[in-house]
Amino acid sequence: MPNLPALDTLSLAQQVAQMVVVRASGYLFDHQIQYPAWEPVAETLRHWVQDWGVGGVILLGGSAGELVLRTQQLQAWASVPLLIAADVEEGVGQRFAGATWFPPPMALSAIAQTHADQAEQLAEAMGAATAQESCAIGLNWVLAPTVDVNNNPANPVINVRAFGDVPETVSRLATAFIRGAQRHPVLTCAKHFPGHGDTAVDSHLDLPVIPHSLERLQHVELPPFRAAIAAGVDSVMSAHLLIPALDSTQPATLSPRILTQLLRQELGFDGLITTDALVMGAIANRYGANEAAVLAVEAGADILLMPSDPVGAIQAVCSAVETGRIAAEQISASVNRIWRAKHKAAVVDQPTIASLGTGETIAAASAMLQASMQVHTTASSRLTHLHPDASKRNLILVDDALGCDFLGRHTPAIALPAAMGYHLQIVDSRSAMTDLAPEPTLLQLFIRGNPFRGSAGLTHAAEAWLHSLLQSEQLHALVIYGSPYSLETFLPILPQDVPYVFTYGQMPEAQAIALNSLFAP
């Protein structure tokens, strides 16, 4: 068990600091930092952990091997064991190279339409693998599952991160994920309360409004949260949403009506309530950094995730307690919950990478990809039936060519067509349309909802390229990686004799499975 001090031995500032989780780079060295606006240099991070005693760190970037060293370093700095979190909704490999990368949760929804039991078994295996690999590298807080019901195809921020668009399916698959994760000493997190699925605005950029009635919320948005709570989820993350039926003035993250009355009292949740990142535009653009932290604690949050000024947030909450705006007992109650969580997520053994990427976890990810893939092809339309001397183009469209971590010369989307004589052309959503030389073209679209960027721009670019290739009769095959909504958009204009493959995954394993189904053996 971790050695946690008695609450009455901690000052007010030390207690409040335990409620703060800061963002940091998973890379070991300052010159590797990729998001300097959010990720502090080592000296600052150490100051926050060692001198101010923040309660946790959320990490992004680096390999799984680096994370072992990084998490050990962070815990060594801390006088109180840290919560170390990551957004690993698609497995640890989604964020940290070398671990298992699963397809997004919506793939399970596709499987559940015809094989509900298989989907549930795979969801449980995914939860277990994510928790196991998190423990292996020193993470103890899995910020998953997403239990939003994504019933708006235009949703730019949830999209394929959800387990589907039907509350019952989302509930069943999310609780299976939680059940699998509970085999290991990590915390789970249901997000984004009370439901971020029916928005067309990215809360990273602005404040979405959910106009639905309370009756609709009770039937659609809330059931998966009720199910997750019944399954023993350890934490619930708030959504930066304005929901007038619940609170006409404050977004959910800052609303006592939503966090305390609805979540804590009506739904009976006694675990950790954490905000979503307080640096996100929906909050940061409307409230002062420190005032937002105070409002979130007033609303009932136990954890302040990624405040833009951690020290200022601690000082502001302390001042609010000292002036009577926030009761000291509320701070104590939050820290008691944090202590309970830290006891559960205690690091017993040193992290080890031995259990990363095992045959069992890789097989589960592959099974999800295989079972959720859609293929339309015939023996006569397989790509090897092109004349071997023909000029052939592999045209790949991605959101951001410079920030694309799932493509490289060795990855199947590039290597497999190259071995068959295709020459490569990569474009992104900012590339200007050009006249293409007349040659048969394999079009590969990597397209899904992406926080901060959405998918609208990429969808328009993809439509333009697709129309151009169809009009010039150059398109001879299509592969879509990521969003089923994109497939639905493009299918009506796709000729029946053009083979296509759709897969939810974008990682190399998904590329290999998709292309091998398209090319003749």
Catalytic: 204?
yes
Based on the number of CB atoms within 10 Å of its own CB, is 415 exposed (0-12), middle (13-18) or buried (19 or more)?
A: middle
Residue-wise pLDDT for 108-118, tens only, equals 999 999 999 99
Q: Does the pLDDT of residue 168 top 80, yes or no?
A: yes
Strands ordered across the beta sheet of 189-193: 189-193, 235-238, 272-274
CA 116 vs CA 88, 163, 365: distances in Å: 24, 13, 17
227: tokens are 């199910």
CATH superfamily to which 55-355 belongs: Glycoside hydrolase, family 3, N-terminal domain (3.20.20.300)
Place of tokens 């010369």: 409
Q: How far apart are CA 20 and CA 489, in angstroms?
A: 43
Question: Closest by alpha carbon to 191, among 205, 206, 177?
Answer: 177
Asked if the bond preceding 194 is cis, omega within 30° of 0, the reply is yes
pLDDT at 43: 97
Greatest alpha-carbon pair distance for the chain in Å reads: 80
CATH superfamily to which 373-518 belongs: Glycosyl hydrolase family 3 (3.40.50.10870)
10: tokens are 């901690």
- 21 vs 403: which has the higher pLDDT: 21
Q: Among the ranges 209-213, 430-434, 468-472, which has the highest mean pLDDT value?
A: 468-472
pLDDT at 121: 98
> Which of 184, 192, 196, 204 does the annotation list as catalytic?
204
Rounded to an integer, the average pLDDT of 501-519 is 95
Place of tokens 């001198």: 51
Q: How far apart are CA 157 and CA 159, in angstroms?
A: 6
Torsion sign (Cα): 407, 409, 412, 414? positive
- 296 vs 489: which has the higher pLDDT: 296
247: tokens are 């609170």
> Which of 198, 276, 399, 428 does the annotation list as catalytic?
276
Are 7 and 28 in contact, with CB atoms under 8 Å apart?
A: no
| Domains of the chain by residue range | 55-355, 373-518
To the nearest 10 degrees (0 to 180), the angle between helices 328-344 and 310-322 is 130
